[in-house]
Copies of this chain bind each other. A is one copy, B any other.
Amino acid sequence: MVPGYAGRLLHIDLTKNIVKKIRLKKSFIKEYIGGKGFGARLMYDMVPPRIDPLSPVNPLIFLTGPVTATGAPASARDVVVTKSPKTGTFLDSNSGGYWGCWLKIAGYDGLIITGRASKLSYIYINDGSVELRDASGYAGYGVYATTKGLIKEVGDNNAKVAAIGPAGENLVKLAGIVNDLHHVHARGGPGAVMGSKNLKAIVISADHRNPKFDLADRDGFNKYNLKIIREVVRGPPEEWARTDGTPIIVRWSNDVGVLPTRNFQVGVFEYVDNIDAEVMRSFRTSKGACYRCSIACRNLTRLKDDKWGEIELDGPEYETIAMGGSNTGVGDFKAIIAWNNLVDDLGMDTISLGNVTALAMEAYEKGYIDKNITNGLELGFGNIDAQMELARMIAYRKGIGDILAEGAREFVMWLGGDAYKMALETKGLEYPAYDPRGSVGMALAYATSDRGACHLRAWPIAEEAFGDMDPFTPEGKAELVINMQDLNAVKWSMIFCDFLDADYEMIANYFNYVTGLNYSADTMRLIGERINNLIRLFNVREGFSRKDDYIPYRIAHEKMPRGPNKGFSVKPEIFNKMLDDYYELRGWNRDGVPKKGKLRRLGLYKDFFKTNIHSM
């Protein structure tokens, strides 16, 4: 057994009601590390092309990595891997909190869940034992009541819960899986997959003083970890995270004109002063941390108010503030806290939800829809009451919410005509909160991200509008995006969170102390590239290619009307240049398919021939 791993995955088939333990092979660990890497390999081998993501055969896989629960900074992570019902692509969706650590402490590197329970159920993992239990009493419950109820039900105040809300039960494509009340595996609809399995929650009891895994070199690990905490975590690289956390980005984004405002119609928000980090501080009661994380980026906030009552929240983060604030025209931090609190309870992705809400608002203001269709809601920008009600309508699939529950792409199709010009998405995943018209690399990052438009695969704006590169030119952006994507593939496999400023060297050091293997930075880089290429093969097998690596109409053809990027749009010639460069540097052909030579170098050559698995 390799140190750093519990050494086994748990396979639970809910149709058969059978639990199997699968030993981790050393070769699997060596080639794919953990987390996202494990998920990429498992999905490629298990899932033939074109299955319905909401069918019982789609696996819902929770994975941890070698640093999970070790006390390394930013290591309290797990990832859920599945075929996305939102995009049809491979999906990995991360979350922090405690739940993922408890899974590993209980002795499992991951869970593979297949089939479908005959009634609403939850899984209870209590160290050695695994049970499928009735959850029909929780049908329709929000995440908060479910989490608290199940903790009481299992009789362990220290039990950790990953749950879905009504959105997941109703197969809403924006539904996430929520760890520990507020940590959401949000993007790509994993909550709908869990809902399709009639699985309301997974509850884990574990003794965190006796984790069921060991480290190869505990002393070495501790010494190195302390050094990183001193030099990196307590040093300048993490200062922003230690102090304000992600809300600081609101100001940065507005300053460079990329803060999505009123459905990306513009990149600066006139009420930015009402929603920035300074305002956040006035609601903050303390900083919070995930399990044993020394960064403690989180802001615990409290709101007490006649309109909203009393709310205690872990958040809001930048993406929530931007997508549910400036992007919907809401310049009121209290309202954003209330919306965040509601959306976590309903169990949805604040990014996609904020995006489709703003889209519906634009459609309303432009006359595509009216009050007859919105159940009377006056859905103009800035109407927070309508925004709250619309979140419920989406989670419960009421009226127009039933259409918005599918996403931006589907909503504009339903509207017909030229409504598609208002949709901000790639591969069916809604744009997050950086407008590429102020950093063209983001257009490439969104277009080539494995799971659709995502800022967590590559964040080139760090070097463009927030750094020293020209944000309006295509040169060098492909290389930047590729480097970030490959590094992140390794981070999401270890699993480190976004906020550890780690390079391959640091990652390799952590990996070596934990596992006793002796990996170089270059090996780590190769693994990152391997993971991204294997996922591309998965997506290619599902029929994705260059045609799916697109940018939305608005980004390409509507010039930013004001702000620092006034007059600019990511014209097709800029985008196509970046995409051509990207494919070439990746070793993919002009249609975006990995070439055989590249696959051979990555040890994936045999996988190419699996493309057509049915006739083999």
Contacts and interface: CB of A to CB of B under 8 A. Distances in A.
Interface residues of A, number: 61
Given A615-B552, A616-B553, A46 B413 contact: yes
Contacts of A406: 51-52, 55-57
Contact of A614 (B543, B553, B572): B553
Contact of A402 (B15, B410, B414, B612): B15
A403 interface: yes
B543 A420 contact: no
Contact of A85 (B52, B88, B115, B425): B52
Contacts of A15: 373, 399-400, 402-403, 414
Contacts of A52: 54, 85, 173, 406, 410
A613 B548 CA distance: 10
B547 A545 contact: no
Contacts of A552: 614-615
B403 A57 contact: yes
Interface string A599-616: 000000000000111111
A50 B50 CA distance: 11
A224 interface: no
A116 interface: yes
A556 interface: yes
A462 B264 CA distance: 59
A88 B87 CA distance: 13
A413 B47 contact: yes
Contacts of A426: 614
Nearest to A410: B57
Contacts of A48: 409, 413, 420
A541 B428 CA distance: 14
A327 interface: no
Interface string A414-433: 10100010010111100000
Contacts of A56: 402-403, 406, 414
A583 interface: no
A127 B341 CA distance: 51
Interface string A421-452: 00101111000000000000000000000000
A373 B425 contact: no
Interface in A105-152: 114-116, 118
Contact of A543 (B57, B416, B542): B542
A410 B548 contact: no
Contact of A410 (B51, B403, B613): B51
Contact of A612 (B46, B372, B547): B547
A544 interface: yes
A614 B413 contact: no
A454 to B, nearest CB: 16
Contact of A413 (B54, B57, B411, B550): B57
A416 B553 contact: no
Contact of A116 (B373, B402, B550): B402
Nearest to A11: B416
Choose among A51, A115, A427 the residue with the greatest number of B CB atoms under 10 Å from its CB: A51
Contacts of A615: 550-553, 556, 572, 575
Given A57-B403, A57-B406, A542-B543, A428 B50 contact: yes
A49 interface: yes
Contacts of A208: none
Interface in A1-45: 15-16
Nearest to A400: B15
Contacts of A423: 614
Contacts of A542: 543
Interface in A536-565: 541-545, 547-548, 550-553, 556
A435 to B, nearest CB: 16
Most B Cβ at <10 Å: residue of A372, A373, A614: A614
Contacts of A425: 614
B403 A614 contact: no
B414 A115 contact: yes
A613 B409 CA distance: 11
A50 B85 CA distance: 10
17 contacts: A15-B402, A46-B416, A50-B428, A52-B173, A54-B54, A55-B406, A56-B402, A56-B406, A57-B414, A115-B414, A118-B398, A118-B399, A542-B543, A547-B612, A550-B612, A552-B615, A575-B615
Interface of A: 15-16, 46-52, 54-57, 85, 87-88, 114-116, 118, 173, 372-373, 398-400, 402-403, 406, 409-411, 413-414, 416, 420, 423, 425-428, 541-545, 547-548, 550-553, 556, 572, 575, 611-616
3 smallest CB-CB distances across A and B, nearest first, come from A543-B543, A550-B615, A57-B410
Given A57-B411, A118-B399, A556-B615, 6 more contacts: A15-B399, A50-B548, A56-B406, A57-B410, A115-B402, A426-B614
